[in-house]
Chains A and B, each alone.
Chain A
C-alpha cells in the first residue's frame, strides 16, 4: 500500500530544498539593471509599432493614382481636355475636319459611321438654340452628354487604349429638349440615355455634328488663349 506523506513532511521538504541559495543574491542594483532592460525593450517595441503605424499611414497618405474600372456603359477612351494636365508636354488641338453633319431632326437618334479614322479625333455638337440637350454615343456607349448651343463643347477621343480598333467609328447623336431631361448637368448612365431616347418625340431642331482630328501641340502660353469654337481646319496647323 502507498504510504501517505504528511503536510509537515511536505513543509520540511520545501524548507530543506530551498535552504541553500547560491552566493549571488538578488540585489536592488541588479533589479534596476533589469528594469532598464525592460524599459528599453518596451521602448523599442513602442518605437517599432509607431514606425509600422507611420509606414501604414504614409502608404495611405501618399497621393497615388488609382485606375478605376470603367463601367460597361461608359466609353473608356481618353478624354482630350482643353486644359493641360499635371505633366503635360502637349495640348491636343482640333485639327482637320473629318466630317460635318447637319440635321433638322430633334428627338431622333441619328447614326453616323466613319472609316479609316486612325488619329485621335474631337467631336462636337452645336445647336441653333440654347434650349437643347445632346447625347453622343460611340459604338453604343455614352461618349458625351450635356447642354447644346451655338458654341460647341468639344470632347476628344483617343484610340490608344482601344484594343482591336480597326479605324471604324460609329457615332449616334440625339438632340432633345433640355426640359425633357431629368438629370441636366449630371452624368447619366447608359440606361438613362436609353430612357431619354425612348421617350423623345421628334421635333424640328437645327443642330450640327462635326468630327475633327486632334493635333498635339507643344505647350505654350499662346495656345492657352486660342479660342476653341472659332477654329476651322484652315486656321489650325495640321
Chain B
C-alpha cells in the first residue's frame, strides 16, 4: 500500500521534471508551481488508489487542472490570428526570432493541443499513454498533434530528413 513516505519520495524525485512540464503548459513559473502543488495535493488525496506508476495520474491532473484554469483565465491570453512569419534559417538573428515565434505559437495553442505537444515532445510519452492521460483515443492524440504541429509549422517529415542526412 502506498504511504506518505512513498509520496514524499515521489515528490522529491519527480517534482523538478513535473514542474518543468507544468511550466511548458502554462508558460509562467509561478503559475507552474501553483499548478504542480495543486496537482500533487490532489494526487495525495487519492494516493492509495494510485498504482505503481503515479506519473500518468499526475500528468492527467496537471493537464486537466491547467485546462480548467485556462478556461477561467482565457482572457489573459491573446490568441494571434496570423501564424508566425517564416524567416531565413541561415540568418542567426532570424533563427532566434524563429524560436520566439514558435514560443508565441505554442502559447496560442488550445490547452489540449499544447498538452499533447508537451507530453509527446518533452515528457516523451507514447501516443497510447498520452491518450490514457488525456482520456481520449490514440487517434485523437494523433489528430491533435497534427493540428498543433501544423500551427507551429513543424514538419514531422523534416526529422527523418535531418536524421537521415
Contacts and interface: CB of A to CB of B under 8 A. Distances in A.
A8 B44 CA distance: 35
Interface stretch (B48-56, B66-74, B114-122, B133-141): B114-122
A4 B11 contact: no
A34 interface: yes
Q: Classify the interface of chain A: helix, strand, loop or mixed.
A: helix
B30 to A, nearest CB: 8
A21 B117 contact: no
B76 interface: no
A18 B162 contact: no
A14 B89 contact: no
Interface in B55-97: 83, 85-89
Contact of B98 (A5, A22, A25): A5
A21 B19 contact: yes
B8 interface: yes
Contacts, number: 110
B33 A10 contact: no
B40 A31 contact: yes
Nearest to B14: A26
B156 interface: yes
Contacts of A64: none
A10 to B, nearest CB: 5
Contacts of B16: 21, 25
A18 B158 CA distance: 24
Interface in B116-154: 117-118, 121-122, 149, 152-154
Interface residues of B, number: 46
Interface string B1-30: 000000110011001101111011000010
Contacts of B37: 26, 30-31, 34
Given A2-B153, A21-B23, A25-B19, A10 B121 contact: yes
Given A4-B158, A8-B159, A31 B41 contact: yes
Interface residues of A, number: 32
A26 B19 contact: yes
A38 B40 CA distance: 12
A59 interface: no
A6 interface: yes
A32 B38 CA distance: 10
A4 B154 contact: yes
A31 B122 contact: no
A22 B16 CA distance: 10
A78 B45 CA distance: 64
B36 A26 contact: yes
B162 A6 contact: yes
B112 interface: no
- Residue among B33, B41, B117 with the highest chain A CB neighbour number at 10 A: B41
B152 A10 contact: yes
Interface in A1-47: 1-11, 13-15, 17-19, 21-22, 24-28, 30-32, 34-35, 37-39
A214 B66 CA distance: 78
Contacts of A3: 86-89, 98, 153
11 contacts: A4-B153, A5-B152, A6-B158, A8-B162, A10-B121, A11-B121, A13-B99, A17-B103, A26-B36, A28-B11, A32-B44
Closest 8 CB pairs of A and B: A4-B155, A2-B86, A18-B20, A34-B41, A28-B8, A6-B158, A14-B122, A7-B159
